[in-house]
Amino acid sequence: MRKMDKQEATSCLKELLAKCNLSSDSFILVEPNPNDALSKGYKIRIIASMNNICREQVKKITKEHDVAVIEEQNQMIVYKPKSNQLDIV
72 domain-assigned = yes
Domain count, the chain: 1
39 domain-assigned = yes
User: How much is the pLDDT for 78?
Assistant: 92
Summarize pLDDT for 4-47 with one digit per residue, the tens: 899 999 898 888 888 887 776 788 889 998 888 888 899 999 88
For the chain, percent of residues with pLDDT exceeding 70:
89
Which CATH number do you get for residue 39? Answer: 3.90.1070
User: How much is the pLDDT for 49?
Assistant: 77
What does the mean pLDDT of the chain come to? 83
89 domain-assigned = no
19 domain-assigned = yes
The pTM of the full predicted model, rounded to 2 decimals, is 0.80
34 domain-assigned = yes
Residue 89 has pLDDT above 70, yes or no: no
Provide DSSP, 26-74: GEEEEPP-TT-SSEEEEEEEEES---HHHHHHHHHHHHHTT-EEEEETT
